[in-house]
Amino acid sequence: MSALMNDRFLRALQRQPVDRTPVWMMRQAGRYLPEYRATRAKAGDFMSLCRNAELACEVTLQPLERYPLDAAILFSDILTIPDAMGLGLYFETGEGPRFRNTVRSAADVEALPTLTAETDLDYVVSAVATIRKALNGSVPLIGFSGSPWTLATYMVEGGSSRDFREAKRLLYGEAAVMHALLGKLADAVTDYLNAQIRAGAQAVQIFDTWGGVLPSWAYAEFSLAYMTKIVDGLIREHEGRHVPVILFTKNGGQWLEAMADSGADALGLDWTTDIREARARVGDRVALQGNMDPAMLYAPPERIREEVAHILARFGEGSGHIFNLGHGITPDVDPAHADAFIRAVCELSPPYHGGK
């Protein structure tokens, strides 16, 4: 593997000195870019794009060709694991992801197969290896997975949900069944992320998109406990470097102290949490990633720059901050506004790290 020319992102995750605050965006390879839409059209549909290592590599690199980003993130979907378990993932226009089969009973959980990522999700592993080679040491590559709780919500509901009625019915009414499902998913996610690390991912992020819909006791028992189990089972040293882990729970700002006990290197913040307060609460235990509201990218570039300056000032001096949005970039954002955001981070952050 090529030597890493820009390790700013990996250093900041470990709270080591950097020359400026590193920046990347969740969903940075996506529908807001015309070149992405062209590649997706060439693939035929979203999952065909995910399953084609060369095209997945192509879209992963597209934002890096436009912007001075400090990391690439694997182009894939969080629902690859349930799909590989035989639930029949498909996408309906305007409806988002759906599953032909659901998991709502002990028998359904028992019937789920045990996955081996290298064979059952070989197209993802191949994409990681292809992307890592193409990056040629320019920036680190981030692998990722959905959290067990987030994956479980889709598997039980059969798709996206507004109220998570079926998932909560199972959690509150048949907790043992939900625990059995989450246990299987935690094992699958651990294997999946380790396969990505072996294939070349240099950091990994666990997306707990729906942990924030739970009450505090249930978040601790049904979401955080399983993410902690995954962190415990991950490869943490590879190719002579530490492999950092980022936990991101949307609407999870009230649980930062507990999340910092998970063993992760960094916590992702959504835009509802003040980053100065978050830093005061977790201290030097973990790095923080975030957390500009993605909707700020609809504002004029000068307003975007003001918000970047505000968040940098709120975090303050020193390392341990990876600038990101508080959730994924939305499809109808003007790419020029994303450029204004990223360049503002590059230009305004050096003074917080002893530069000019």
Mean confidence (pLDDT) of the chain: 97
Asked if residue 93 has pLDDT above 80, the reply is no
271 within some domain? yes
Encode pLDDT of 136-169 as tens digits.
999 999 999 999 999 999 999 999 999 999 999 9
> CA–CA separation, 261 vs 106, rounded Å?
31
What would the mean pLDDT of 217-227 be, rounded to a whole number?
Answer: 98
Encode pLDDT of 98-128 as tens digits.
999 999 999 999 999 999 999 999 999 999 9
Range of the domain at 154: 33-289
154 within some domain? yes
Residue 137 among known ligand-binding residues: no
239 within some domain? yes
* pTM summary value: 0.97
Asked if residue 244 has pLDDT above 70, the reply is yes
What would the mean pLDDT of 158-183 be, rounded to a whole number?
Answer: 97
Residue 154 among known ligand-binding residues: yes
Encode pLDDT of 194-213 as tens digits.
999 999 999 999 999 999 99
Q: How many domains, the chain?
A: 1
Active site residues: 27, 31, 40, 77, 154
More confident residue, 92 or 138: 138
**Which pLDDT value is given to residue 1?**
63
Residue 352 among known ligand-binding residues: no
Nearest Cα neighbor of 312 from 304, 323, 299, 326 is 323
Which stretches within 244-330 are classed as H helix? 256-260, 275-282, 301-315
Q: What is the CATH number of the domain that holds 105?
A: 3.20.20.210
What would the mean pLDDT of 221-250 be, rounded to a whole number?
Answer: 98
300 within some domain? no
22 within some domain? no
Asked if 18 and 319 count as a contact pair (C-beta separation under 8 A), the reply is yes
**Which pLDDT value is given to residue 96?**
83
> CA–CA separation, 254 vs 210, rounded Å?
14
27 within some domain? no
Residue 327 among known ligand-binding residues: yes
Asked if residue 92 has pLDDT above 80, the reply is no
Q: How confident is the model at residue 176 (pLDDT cuts 50, 70, 90)?
A: very high
b/e 195-232 (16+ beta carbons within 10 angstroms → b): bbbbbbbbbbbbbbbbbbbbeeebbebbbbbbbbbbbe
Q: Sign (positive/negative) of CA torsion 228, 249, 75, 49?
A: positive
211 within some domain? yes
323 within some domain? no
**Which pLDDT value is given to residue 37?**
96
